[in-house]
A = this chain, B = another copy of it.
Amino acid sequence: MTEQMTSQHAQSDSWHLGLFMHMPRMSRLEVLENTLIQVDALGSIVSLTRPDEPEYTERLHTARRSGALTEMSSQQMMIPGLVDLHVHAPQWPQLGKALHLPLQDWLNHYTFPLEARYQDIDFARQVYPSLVRALLANGTTTAMYFATVHEEATELLAATCLALGQRAYVGRVAMDDPQQCPDYYRDSDAQAAVAASERSIHAIRQLSGNQNQLVKPVITPRFIPSCTNDLLAGLGELAARHQCHVQTHCSESDWEHDYVLNRLGKTDTQALADFGLLNRHTVLAHSNFITDSDMGRIQEAGSGIAHCPLSNSYFADSVFPLRRALDKSLRVGLGTDIAGGHSASLFNTCQHAVASSRMLESGVDARLPAAERGQANARINFLEAFYLATAGGADVLDSPTGLFEPGRQFDALLLDLDCPENRLNEFTRANDWEDLLGCVVYNTQPCNIGRVWIDGRCVHG
């Protein structure tokens, strides 16, 4: 593999040659063999040339001459970078911890005290680079982050993503309701919270080196229960004024869904719409308990959903009706929900998305007759999960990534299929593309992720 590429990045085009797989639509796997992809200095895909095209020989010659060609071996392939729509960045130090505790204990004894520590910027400096590096090593090229209430640490997270080259959406968390937030960790009041969120939007947009907006700010009410109505209304105005993304939790659990119904007399989705927080740039985490009418409203607004199957098994009392949402043309992507989910890997998330969709379809209680046990036609397969983790997630964010096609930014993973610690294709026949992608989705580990590019720039490996 040519190693001059990164150094030449700023100056000229780079090239990638070999096997690419991606999914232009949920039902369509496209395999590009011996294909040559040209990426310009800004990371945009300029051309994609197959061997049977007349320009192939000439372009290949140019690529080789450039000294900026990444040539894959027969044991390598590339897929689009993975998009993680829901990460609680400050919870990284508690990955895999205390998940057996009831939610209230998990929050009050682990999560809130941990998040409060980011008041100390040195603690944030210790954690955030570790998190972003780990996500890159797991193939996550785009992440949508909840930070904490702290402006300085939130800006540090954004700056860390920028410095390490990760495409990111970073939100200062707004939470002001004394009924639901601990005294030691909340905004003092709605007005102060809105002002802090607005300053955070400016700070992230104006970060040094962020002229291409690789890192974007996100308006982030934690969830309705932790925000007063004044705060939610203020954040809605902020969203309209700044045209930036919005993220929050939506109808995640019985408790949360019922709490909002009791407090506001409507569902989370209706309430968010009424507060001006449901639009094309909104990402709703979980949404397990949304009604058919909520689905219609979300679809009309063009909002997206971050499906987090692993954390749902811990905290959501149910499985998100993914197939139903997809059938209604909702835009959906996947989230690890670190640290309500215990894995940093979107491949792992794909595995749980498939497994939980099948459990929703079959049901779980063997004592019930089969016909009464589950929801018919609820399953998704690994191809659909892979779509959600790549092009689907990119679509939710209106991000020009997730596919290999001219005009998109080159966010990609180079997979080493035959890595000695984990062989993905040892017994796969050449050209059995679905089988090979199955092995990738079901079993890729960080050791198989040889290199990672974002905006055409090699950021890992």
The interface of chain A, by Cβ under 8 A from chain B, is 92-100, 127, 130, 134, 137, 254, 288-289, 310, 313-314, 316-321, 342-343, 351-352, 354-356, 358-360, 362-367, 370, 373-375, 381-383, 421-423, 426-428, 435, 438-439, 441-443, 445-447
Contact between A439 and B95, CB atoms less than 8 A apart: yes
Bound together, the chains give a CA A457 to CA B460 distance in angstroms of 37
Residues of B within 8 A of A321 (CB): 366
Residues of B within 8 A of A354 (CB): 99-100
Complex A-B: 14 CB contacts under 8 Å: A96-B438, A96-B439, A98-B435, A99-B382, A99-B438, A100-B381, A100-B382, A342-B438, A352-B355, A359-B359, A363-B365, A364-B364, A445-B447, A446-B447
Instruction: Return the chain B residue nearest A380 by Cβ.
Output: B100
With A365-B318, A421-B447 as contacts: A427 and B359 at CB distance below 8 Å? no
Contact between A364 and B366, CB atoms less than 8 A apart: no
Residues of B within 8 A of A423 (CB): 130, 134
Residues of B within 8 A of A443 (CB): 95-96, 342-343
Q: How far is the CB of A361 from chain B (nearest CB, A)?
A: 9
Contact between B446 and A288, CB atoms less than 8 A apart: no
Contact of A318 among B288, B317, B364 (CB under 8 A): B364
Residues of B within 8 A of A364 (CB): 318-319, 356, 359-360, 363-364, 374-375
Bound together, the chains give a CA A310 to CA B358 distance in angstroms of 11
Bound together, the chains give a CA A307 to CA B267 distance in angstroms of 39
Contact between B442 and A342, CB atoms less than 8 A apart: yes
Residues of B within 8 A of A366 (CB): 288-289, 317-321
Contact between A342 and B352, CB atoms less than 8 A apart: no
Residues of B within 8 A of A447 (CB): 421, 445-447
Instruction: Return the chain B residue nearest A439 by Cβ.
Output: B96
Contact between A374 and B381, CB atoms less than 8 A apart: no
Q: How far is the CB of A446 from chain B (nearest CB, A)?
A: 5
Bound together, the chains give a CA A441 to CA B97 distance in angstroms of 10
- Between A289, A352, A422, the greatest number of chain B beta carbons within 10 A of the residue's beta carbon is seen for A422
Contact between A313 and B363, CB atoms less than 8 A apart: no
Apart from A359-B359, A445-B447, 10 more pairs, CB < 8 Å: A95-B427, A95-B439, A96-B443, A99-B442, A100-B381, A313-B359, A318-B365, A343-B443, A355-B355, A421-B447
Instruction: Return the chain B residue nearest A309 by Cβ.
Output: B355
Residues of B within 8 A of A94 (CB): 427
Contact between A365 and B355, CB atoms less than 8 A apart: no
Contact between A421 and B442, CB atoms less than 8 A apart: no
Bound together, the chains give a CA A443 to CA B316 distance in angstroms of 22
Contact between B370 and A442, CB atoms less than 8 A apart: no
- Between A360, A362, A421, A446, the greatest number of chain B beta carbons within 10 A of the residue's beta carbon is seen for A362
Instruction: Return the chain B residue nearest A375 by Cβ.
Output: B365
With A254-B370, A355-B313 as contacts: A100 and B363 at CB distance below 8 Å? no
